[in-house]
Amino acid sequence: MNKDKGQLIVALDVGTLDEAKKLVYTLDGLVDIFKVGSQLFASSGPEAVRSILRLGKKVFLDLKFHDIPHTVASAVRAVTAITESGQGILMCTLHTLGGLEMLRSGVVAAQAQAQIGRIAKPWLVGITVLTSEEKEDNITGLVLERALLAKQAGLAGVVASSQEAALIRRELGDDFLIVTPGIRPSGTAPDDQRRITTPQDAIKNGSNFLVVGRPIIQAKNPAVAAKQILEEIKTAVS
């Protein structure tokens, strides 16, 4: 899996594994990476991850671990051990609010478990500020501070709004991953997101991965909606 800009991740923010698998089938040939978040993981557990891996797809596991270092290390070790046919998760989220020691403990745990399982180590990415939070004067500085902490801890990157992505890219370099949620194509309702952006702007600002949920999964035709977003991405990176 490369780190090129503008890779689409579809968020499987649905209540059942059957719904999730139906979406994966529907988007086959278009989308390679799917996000499993708290809702789907709470209802279906590790089987949600294994089912998607069995379909030949990559999994971004977005559980936003935030606890004492020992507990987070144990959680990261457990999700890194979720494999199918020698494949594990692609990425996993930790919350940077947990601090340096907690983040480092996750990095060490992921590396150790990946070696035991003889799989690629998942990329750990740090949550900075949720895109549902209102834009305030101090958010940009706060996001950069948390991104710097993530890099210091050895994380592969961060989850951040496109509105801060350009600053993160400039300050932390090209090898630092930026995962951007809150992506809304032109003319799409923002729902409960506050700091949204278009695919073109996210790519222009340096985002590697664009996470899209409701504009695709709630569309009358998810495949058509995904194709439209992929066309916007293609135009932006060309």
Show the domains of the chain with their CATH numbers: 7-237 (3.20.20.70)
Q: What share of the chain is helix, strand, coil (3-state, %, to 5)?
A: 45, 20, 35
Q: Is 5 assigned a catalytic role?
A: no
Confidence at residue 17, expressed as pLDDT on a 0 to 100 scale = 98
Report the alpha-carbon angle 163-23-90, nearest 5.
Answer: 55
Q: Cα–Cα distance between 121 and 44 in angstroms, integer?
A: 23
Residue-level pLDDT at 13:
96
pLDDT of residue 130: 76
Residue pLDDT, tens place only, 116-172:
999 999 999 999 987 655 556 678 899 999 999 999 999 999 999 988 999 999 999
pLDDT of residue 187: 57
Residues in the chain with pLDDT < 50? 1, 190, 192-193
pLDDT of residue 192: 45
Cβ burial of 119 (10 Å; 0-12, 13-18, 19+) is middle
Locate 26 and state its tokens. Answer: 């529907």
Residue 128: which region, alpha, beta or left (left: phi > 0; alpha: psi -120 to 50)? alpha
Which residues make beta-bridge pairs with 59?
34
**pTM (2 d.p.):** 0.93
> Which pLDDT does position 139 carry in this prediction?
84
- Relative to beta strand 123-127, strand 177-180 is unpaired
CB atoms within 10 A of CB 95: 20
Q: Which of 35, 57, 64, 227 is an active site residue? A: 64
Nearest Cα neighbor of 19 from 50, 53, 44, 38 is 44
Vertex 83 angle, CA 78 and 85, to 5°: 165
